[in-house]
Structures are given as C-alpha cells and as structure tokens.
Amino acid sequence: MLRALLQLRRVIPESTSDALLRRFWVRHWSRERGRETLKLGRPAPELAGSERAVLCEAVADSYPFLNVLEVGCGFGQTFDLLAPLFPKAHFVGIDIDAERVEQARGLAESAARTNVEFRVADAAGLDEFADDCFDLVVSSASLLFLDPARLASALRESARVGRGRLIFLEQHKEGAGLGQRSFENDTRGEYWIRDWRSAAEVLPGAVVNIRKVPNPLWTTERWQDLGCLVEISL
Ligand SMILES: C[S@@+](CC[C@H](N)C(=O)[O-])C[C@H]1O[C@@H](n2cnc3c(N)ncnc32)[C@H](O)[C@@H]1O
C-alpha cells in the first residue's frame, strides 16, 4: 500500500499524495497501537503525521532492503513505524544511553516485534558491526548531539557498515560549516547546527541531497526553521 502511494506521488499533485500518505500513516499507526497516547513519546496520530513519517517514507522509497541500522534510536519509535511494514527486513537500533535501549527493548517486546533489535553503542565507534552489513543507515535528531570530530567518526563508521545509503533527519544550515554549537532551548545540553554538505566532505565521493521538511508538526521553532531530510549516497 505504501509503495503504491509512493508511486502515485510521481503522477498526482504533491499536496494530494501528501494528504494520502498522511492518512496512510495515521491509519497504520492506529492499527498498530491504538489512538491512545504512547507511554513514551507523542500521541499516535501526531507522530504519524510528523517529521518521522517523512523519514519513514524516504526509507520505504529505498525498498528493497534486508537490514537497516538506526544510529541514536532512542526509544525505538522510528522502527515502531517501519518494522511492521517490512516484516522481512531486520531493524537494528543503537543508542549510547543504556536506559533508552532498555525502554526500546521493552516497548518492542510489548508490541511483539520479532524483527527489531536494540543495542548500546556509540555512533562514533561501531566496531561490533562488520563492513557493509546494513543496506541502509538512518538517524533521526541524534547526530546533532555529536561535536564535529565525533560526527566525522560517526559518518565514516556509518559509511563503513552501510552499503552506500544514509538517510538522516537533521538540522541543516547553509554556511554553518562542520558545526556551530548551540545551547538554545534544549534540556539535553549542547547540540550542533551544521551545513550537511560540509559535514559529508569526510566521505569521499558522497552525493548529498538536502530537502527541507515543511512540516508544521515539528515540535520546536528551531526544527521548523532548520529541519531537513539529508540523504547521502556513496
Ligand atoms: C533526540 S533523541 C532522538 C531519538 C530517536 N532517534 C527519535 O527520533 O526518537 C537523541 C538520541 O541520540 C542518542 N545519542 C546521542 N549521542 C549519541 C552517540 N554518540 N551514539 C549513539 N547515540 C547517541 C541519545 O542518547 C538519544 O537517545
């Protein structure tokens, strides 16, 4: 169904196909979890129509794939949307925060997911994974917490374990170079606003495509201004 909608997007006006896609995610999510507020995270219908759905659409557009890595997976909400849609694929999430990983495992277990796995790891050192072992590497609102040196390592590592395709939901600012430190309005401390074309220069031959996500459901003004889908092909 999602694939058909994505095909349709190429032949009907974007606003119509966007509305259809949004309805698809809301229905899909409601079927999965019901409409009640999730214990962790945002209410289901809101999540389905949010920026995360944009990331998931880009992932769905990359099908076929057998395995997907999410760097900085948090509670595993991205895979909550993707795993049921692609039951034959295997989804691995890593996060540096052991507590979040534990919660992600718990939520996956309560939803009886069998094709997801969560591990504690640092994006800047993915030694436990072999070269080229993922078809796709994704990340959502996580790489902005890495300073320029650690981001360079995380990108090299993502490129090493992935087979040439990286898709990130991140903040992008033209001319910001490898990263401008920001403390604004974030309880998790500092984060980095960067120009993703500059950041991706550590990956020789990378082709970078940056698309603004014009989604009124972003949770903060900063994301409304700078939130982008960054697609890197190697
Ligand atoms: C804002 S949360 C986003 C979580 C998830 N991607 C989502 O969209 O719900 C950022 C996450 O990045 C993780 N993180 C920060 N630095 C990391 C690192 N060096 N390696 C792996 N995960 C990291 C944090 O622990 C946190 O779970």
The 8 Å CB, 24+ separation contacts for 105-113 are: 105/76, 107/39, 107/40, 107/75, 107/76, 107/80, 108/76, 108/79, 108/83, 111/32, 111/33, 111/80, 113/79, 113/83, 113/84
CATH 3.40.50.150 fits 47-233, yes or no: yes
- Residue 141 C-alpha to ligand 1 middle, in angstroms? 7
Q: Where does ligand 1 bind, in terms of residues with CB under 6 Å?
A: 72-74, 77-78, 94-97, 100, 122-124, 140-142, 145-146
Tell me, letter by letter, the H, E, C secondary structure of 180-210.
Answer: EEECCCCCCCCEEEECHHHHHHHCCCCEEEE
State residue 203's pLDDT score. 97
- Residue 12 C-alpha to ligand 1 middle, in angstroms? 36
Which atom in ligand 1 lies closest to the alpha carbon of residue 52?
8
Question: Block means of pLDDT (10 residues each) for the chain, length 234 residues?
Answer: 59 58 57 40 50 82 92 92 88 97 92 94 98 97 94 98 96 93 67 96 97 72 89 97
Which residue's alpha carbon is at the smallest distance from atom 8 of ligand 1? 140
